[in-house]
């Protein structure tokens, strides 16, 4: 049995800016109005024969969406982004703690973004593909005690008509 949550109708949305370093068109800062669809497959169980209660899932996804909303998404492990005063080999999320802004170069282009305008993500890209994996990872961490769940999928849509879906089998 599978439950589906439609991101548009369930209001699991966020707007954010990003870029795909060195990509011909997506390499310039631009934005999307994202929405996130969720599918969770598993055995029905418990008093109500649920796979999982919708009200247990939506707040988790909603919180993730809110954490990204109206921010510039920065993938700290991207090979083409050189962060000022930071060693690429030992980079972690904590590496940025001492800075008030995030400064980086992509080829000859330099960027300085105030920290409060960014979300740093432990990813190589902020593509729909990478963001869908990020959502699934966070959801599977949050749902690790629910042993009846067999798989979790998230489709991160960059607006209507294009999205990437990632599925994690548990």
Active site residues: 26, 70, 158
* Distance (Å, whole) CA 120 – CA 146: 29
Q: What separation in angstroms does the CA of 99 have from each of 3, 32, 78, 93, 114?
A: 42, 27, 19, 12, 9
Q: Which residue is nearest to Zn ion (CB)?
A: 26
Closest to 139 measured CA to CA, from 61, 80, 66? 61
Tell me how far, at minimum, the Cβ of 128 lies from Zn ion, in Å: 8
Distance in Å, CB of 131 to Zn ion, minimum? 10
Quick note: the x/- pattern for Zn ion over 9-38, rule CB under 5 A, is -----------------x------------
Taking the complex as a whole, the smallest distance from the CB of residue 8 to Zn ion amounts, in Å, to 18
User: Which of 32, 51 has the CB closer to Zn ion?
Assistant: 32
Q: What one-character-per-residue DSSP string does 39-89 give?
A: EEEE--BTTTTBSS-HHHHHHHHHHHHHHHTTEEEEETT-TT-EETT--GG
Q: How many residues of this chain bind Zn ion (CB under 5 A)?
A: 1
**Residue 130 or 153: which CB sits closer to Zn ion?**
130
Kindly list the residues in this chain that would bind Zn ion in the complex (CB under 5 A). 26
């Amino acid at each position: 049995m599978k439950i589906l949550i439609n991101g548009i109708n369930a209001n699991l949305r966020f707007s954010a800016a990003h870029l795909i370093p060195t990509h011909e068109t997506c390499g310039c800062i631009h934005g999307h109005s994202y929405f996130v669809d969720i599918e969770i497959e598993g055995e029905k169980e418990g008093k109500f024969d649920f796979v999982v209660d919708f009200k247990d899932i939506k707040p988790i996804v909603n919180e993730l969406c809110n954490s990204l909303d109206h921010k510039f998404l920065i993938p700290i492990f991207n090979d083409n982004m050189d962060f000022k005063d930071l060693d690429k080999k030992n980079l972690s999320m904590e590496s940025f703690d001492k800075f008030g802004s995030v400064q980086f170069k992509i080829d000859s282009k330099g960027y300085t973004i105030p920290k409060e305008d960014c979300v740093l993500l432990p990813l190589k890209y902020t593509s729909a593909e990478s963001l869908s994996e990020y959502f699934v990872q966070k959801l599977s961490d949050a749902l690790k005690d629910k042993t009846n769940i067999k798989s979790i999928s998230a489709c991160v849509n960059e607006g209507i008509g294009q999205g990437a879906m990632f599925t994690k089998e548990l």
